[in-house]
Amino acid sequence: MGQGNKTQTWVSEFILLGLSSDWGTQVSLFVLFLAMYLVTIVGNALILLLIRLDSRLHTPMYFFLSVLSLVDLCYSSSIVPQMLAHLLSVQKSIPFYSCLIQLSTSLALAASEFLLLGAMAYDRYVAVCYPLHYTVIMHGGLCLGLAVGCLGAGFMNSLLETVITFRLPLCHSVMNHFACETLAVLRLACVDISFNKVMVAISGFLVIMLPFFLVLFSYGRIVAAILHIHSAQGRSKAFGTCASHLTVVSMCFGAAIFTYLGPRSAYSVDGEKMVALFYAVVAPMLNPLIYSLRNKEVMAALSKLLDKFSSFSLKLKQRFCVDIFLTPLGLL
């Protein structure tokens, strides 16, 4: 069943046009994105390690940060390795079911991240506005429930969007993108996709705008509370606890709102690719840098870990030297 001269075909694999058809450009992008992906892995893994090892970071704020780092790590890994392989490949193909899995996984993790940012804003609101009751309100059960709820809602949203996207009859297999993405798949459909566009808009409102409104509410109350603090030092400290999160929120929500909810006149396929690239490569790399470089507690935990590693390395080196010089003399 098709429209006009379009004919529905069974698609067993998709051909991705990628970011460029120029070989030199592809090699340069491969080197750049590989370096950024390695920074992403190291940065987010280091955040997870620091939070796990340092008891000073066993607080609700850092619990949510650890979940966010894990989501960033998984989200980037669901897209970037395949993109890197395609940059060095002549045939940029992906099997149908691999495309389905990639789209559903990336959708779930992206939605979970936005919801987590909303939960983190609520955590900062409680910390600044109700400091004396913070540990009582943000207890372990609530934090775990919020994290599980964010992940569960993200995966439910992904399941719905994936089903209504891949139930469409497809007329083409050539996708103008570097990864399987909802809007890119919809452009391959033989039939009217008005319903799908409405569902994408509803999904975007639920997983982007609702957390965004929660962020606006939380920071509105935070600013009001900070203005009532008389000492400049107290205001600086209160704002400092939110600065890193506010930076990440502005970066992530701004790009998402422009892509999915912005005016269609400002929309283009290349623009869609750039925003998708931002979320897959840039944001997961920047998030741990923002949270570490602008956070004294994380930097202190990192310094402590490096001191332990340095001390261990020194002891190991001393032991190695003793073994070398004394073993031949029969003293060990």
Q: Which of 126, 7, 107, 108 is nearest to 61 (CA)?
A: 126
Neighbouring-strand partners of residue 170: 189
Say how many C-beta atoms besides its own lie within 10 A of residue 26's C-beta. Answer: 17
Give the whole-angstrom CA distance, residue 238 versus residue 57.
Answer: 18
Q: Would you state the pLDDT for residue 262?
A: 58
Q: Would you state the pLDDT for residue 265?
A: 47
Q: Would you state the pLDDT for residue 242?
A: 74
Give the C-alpha distances (Å, rounded to integers) separating 255 from 83, 133, 252, 260, 276.
21, 35, 6, 9, 9
The pTM score is 0.85
Q: Following DSSP, what letter does each residue of 111-168 receive, concatenated?
A: HHHHHHHHHHHHHHHHHHH-GGGHHHHT-HHHHHHHHHHHHHHHHHHHHHHHHHHHTS
Q: Yes or no: say if 277 and 36 are a contact pair by the CB < 8 Å rule.
A: no
The ranges of the chain with pLDDT < 70 are: 1-10, 234, 237-238, 240-241, 258-267, 293-294, 311-332
Q: Would you state the pLDDT for residue 4?
A: 44
> What contacts 116, CB < 8 A, 6 or more positions away?
64, 67, 68, 71, 147, 150
Say how many C-beta atoms besides its own lie within 10 A of residue 50's C-beta. Answer: 25
